Amino acid sequence: MFVIIGFVVVIVSVFGGFYEAGGPFMVLIQPAEFMIIGGAGLGALLASAPKNVLHQILTKTLGAIKGETVTKNTYLSVLKLMYELLYMAQKEGLIALEKHIETPAESNIFSKYADILSQSTLISFMTDTFRMVIIGGIASHDLEALMEGDMDTHHNDIRKPSAILAKIGDTMPGLGIVAAVLGIVITMQAIDGPAGEIGKKVAAALVGTFLGILLCYGFIQPLASNLEIAGEKEMQVFEVVKNAISAFARGFSPLVCVEFARRSIPGEVRPEFPEMEAHVKDKQ
């Protein structure tokens, strides 16, 4: 939602200021300039990113527009899920976890957390790590290193959409100059024409430069920053899961394990210990 609000503020500020200065809006309607910059930008995006990254850019952009984010409730759900799994492992033995981690979608534990279950990468991170715990023979520090390596790989993947968008944003002013130069080439061919006609062609060319800069700094770069921050928040959830499992591997009780996890939650959404304890022990 704030992405849309931000873009609306940009549009109103720029074009409102242009109107207040007496600028005619019709001079900004230059389909040729839009085609050059928009088409070249889209082509550069298609050439820059493989299919899977393009899909990530689309889905994460839609998520940013919808206002999807990691909230306190998300973290509480993760903490409660981890507590239930670790409590079962403590009371019934590690082997009791096997049926849950092999088919999470059919698990009566995982199925209670649809929002978490929908995050396939996070679920794979949990289940793959629990498999190593069940197999045994891995020291706690080695298990932690294994999880950190997995997280580093995922972090590199999750940064690609924002990095690609930022690079495309950087190209926009240059593409605006390309459009402006082409407009000047057209203008020079009509240099013997009326001054008013030449002025219109120069104005049309300058619209290209304006559009490229506006798209870069008003839309694409802010969106890339939004996706980067969203990716960091997503990675923080992995950190929470890692800390809970690491603590369990070192022999701590389930409640202490989720306390280790709680301490790694960002302060603005971190639940207090009494709230966390009441939530994870709620059997409903």
- What are 60-72's pLDDT values in tens digits? 999 888 887 788 9
- pLDDT tens for 173-216 read 999 999 999 988 888 887 777 877 888 888 888 999 999 999 99
pTM of the model as a whole: 0.87
Helix axis angle, 120-135 to 72-92, nearest 10°: 20
Rounded to 10 degrees, what is the CA torsion of 182, 185, 190, 196?
Answer: 60
Rounded to 10 degrees, what is the CA torsion of 269, 228, 57, 179?
Answer: 140
What is the predicted pLDDT for the residue at 284? 44
Is residue 7's pLDDT more than 70?
yes
Alpha-carbon span 175 to 181, nearest angstrom:
10
Q: What is the 3-state secondary structure (H, E, C) of 15-60?
A: HHHHHHCCCCHHHHCCHHHHHHHHHHHHHHHHHHCCHHHHHHHHHH
Write the single-letter amino acid at 166.
A
What is the predicted pLDDT for the residue at 2? 86
- Which residue pairs, CB below 8 angstroms and at least 24 apart, start in 8-15? 10/214, 10/218, 10/219, 14/214, 14/218
What is the predicted pLDDT for the residue at 283? 54
